[in-house]
Structure 1
Amino acid sequence: MDTSEMNRRAVAIMKYWDPFAIGSELYGKEIGDVVAQLQVLDHPSDLAKTIQTSYELSFGKWIPLEQCVDISYKLLAVKYEAKHII
């Protein structure tokens, strides 16, 4: 899996998540921020904090860190799958 495929899968995961139940089309900036950070972060807690902060800054609503950790594990699984396919 190449980086573009990894990014497509990560975007699909983030769109499906829809933490505020407002429709995935409204999360473009936040999804972009998270996918960009996925490239450099490898720890679920670090990525979860990025997710939480990005969405809170944009929407003024707080997402419990546990929910962000759950989604960060899914995103990191895609990242590690991309890295380990020969």
Structure 2
Amino acid sequence: MSPEKAQAYWKENISTILKLLVVWFIVSFGCGILFINELNTIEISGVKLGFWFAQQGSIYVFVILIFVYVAKMTAIDEKYDVHE
């Protein structure tokens, strides 16, 4: 792989990671701590939404982000012809 192609690959890789980390931060810290009072005004099946995000929601989102990362990295690997 040429140095320019390798640099573009890692730039796209790091960009993907940073975007997913921002989503994870917003969901875990934002919804679980910062916006909890606003989210607690919404109830689903008797459970306040802010409490749900703090206890379970951020974990579900993290697991979903793992699958999104795998899909995105598979596409990036194929784009730069470094897949297995």
Quickly name the TM-score band, shorter chain normalised: 0.3 to 0.5
The structure whose Rg is larger is 2
TM-score, structure 2 normalization: 0.43
Q: Which structure ranks higher in relative contact order (CA pairs < 8 Å, sequence separation ≥ 6)?
A: 1
TM-score, structure 1 normalization: 0.42
Select the structure that is richer in strand: 2
